[in-house]
Amino acid sequence: MRANYPFNCWYVAATSAEVGAGLFARRMLGKHVLLYRQESGEVVAMEDRCAHRPHPLSTGRRHGDRVACAYHGFEYDPDGRLVDVPSQENVPPGVRVRTYPVREQSPFVWVWLGEPGAAELRLPPRLSWLGADDWPSSMDTFRVEANYLLLHEHYLDLTNVFHMHPDAVPPDLHALPALDEVEVSERSVSYSRLTTATRPAAWEKDVTGVAAEERTARLEEGSFVSPGLHVQRYVVDPHGERPYTVLRIQGFTPESEGVTHAFVRIARDFATSDSAVTAYLQQMFHEMAVRDCAALETMQIRIDEETEPRRNINVKADRAALRARRISRDMVDEESGFSI
Ligand code: FES
* Ligand 1 pocket, residue 52 CB under 6 Å: yes
* Ligand 1 pocket, residue 239 CB under 6 Å: no
The structure's pTM equals 0.94
Would you place residue 209 in the very low, low, confident or very high pLDDT band (cuts 50, 70, 90)?
very high
- In this model, does residue 337 exceed pLDDT 70? no
Query: How many Cα neighbours within 13 Å face the side chain of 337?
Result: 3
* Contact predicate 44/76, CB 8 Å: no
* Ligand 1 pocket, residue 280 CB under 6 Å: no
Q: How far is the CA of 60 from the centre of ligand 1 (A)?
A: 10
Instruction: Give the span between the Cα atoms of 288 and 26, in whole angstroms.
Output: 25
Among residues 191, 283, 274, 290, the alpha carbon closest in space to that of 234 is found at 191
Would you place residue 318 in the very low, low, confident or very high pLDDT band (cuts 50, 70, 90)?
confident
Instruction: Give the span between the Cα atoms of 46 and 228, in whole angstroms.
Output: 20
- Mean pLDDT, residues 78-106 taken together: 97
Looking at domain 137-337, its CATH architecture is Alpha-Beta Complex (3.90)
- Mean pLDDT, residues 210-238 taken together: 93
Distance of CA 63 to the CA centre of its chain: 32
What's the pLDDT score for residue 71? 98
Residue nearest to atom 3 of ligand 1 (CA): 72
Decide: helix, strand or coil at residue 178.
coil
Q: Kindly tell me the burial class for residue 141, based on how many C-beta atoms sit within 10 Å of its own C-beta (0-12, 13-18, 19 or more).
A: middle
What's the pLDDT score for residue 81? 98
Q: How far is the CA of 339 from the centre of ligand 1 (A)?
A: 26
What's the pLDDT score for residue 118? 85
Instruction: Give the span between the Cα atoms of 165 and 213, in whole angstroms.
Output: 22
Q: How far is the CA of 203 from the centre of ligand 1 (A)?
A: 54
What average pLDDT is seen over the chain? 92
- Mean pLDDT, residues 189-207 taken together: 93
Q: For the chain, give the percent of residues with pLDDT over 90.
A: 74
Sheet holding 61-63, edge to edge: 61-63, 66-68, 75-76, 82-84
Would you place residue 270 in the very low, low, confident or very high pLDDT band (cuts 50, 70, 90)?
very high
Q: For the chain, give the percent of residues with pLDDT over 70.
A: 95
Among residues 160, 156, 162, 198, the alpha carbon closest in space to that of 179 is found at 156
Identify the residue with better confidence: 291 or 189.
291
Residue nearest to atom 4 of ligand 1 (CA): 72
* Ligand 1 pocket, residue 86 CB under 6 Å: no
What's the pLDDT score for residue 11? 97
Q: How far is the CA of 96 from the centre of ligand 1 (A)?
A: 13
Q: Kindly tell me the burial class for residue 245, based on how many C-beta atoms sit within 10 Å of its own C-beta (0-12, 13-18, 19 or more).
A: middle
* Contact predicate 13/33, CB 8 Å: yes
What pLDDT, in 10s, does the model give residues 93-111? 999 999 999 999 989 999 9
What's the pLDDT score for residue 235? 96
What pLDDT, in 10s, does the model give residues 168-178? 999 888 877 76
Q: Any idea what DSSP says for residue 91?
A: -
What's the pLDDT score for residue 54? 98
Q: Is CATH 2.102.10.10 correct for 10-121?
A: yes
Residue nearest to atom 1 of ligand 1 (CA): 53
- Mean pLDDT, residues 203-215 taken together: 94
Nearest atom of ligand 1 to the alpha carbon of 69: 2
What's the pLDDT score for residue 311? 87
Would you place residue 218 in the very low, low, confident or very high pLDDT band (cuts 50, 70, 90)?
very high
Would you place residue 160 in the very low, low, confident or very high pLDDT band (cuts 50, 70, 90)?
confident
Nearest atom of ligand 1 to the alpha carbon of 54: 1
- Mean pLDDT, residues 108-126 taken together: 88
What's the pLDDT score for residue 215? 94
Q: Show me where the domains of the chain are located.
A: 10-121, 137-337
- Mean pLDDT, residues 264-277 taken together: 95
Instruction: Give the span between the Cα atoms of 200 and 212, in whole angstroms.
Output: 6
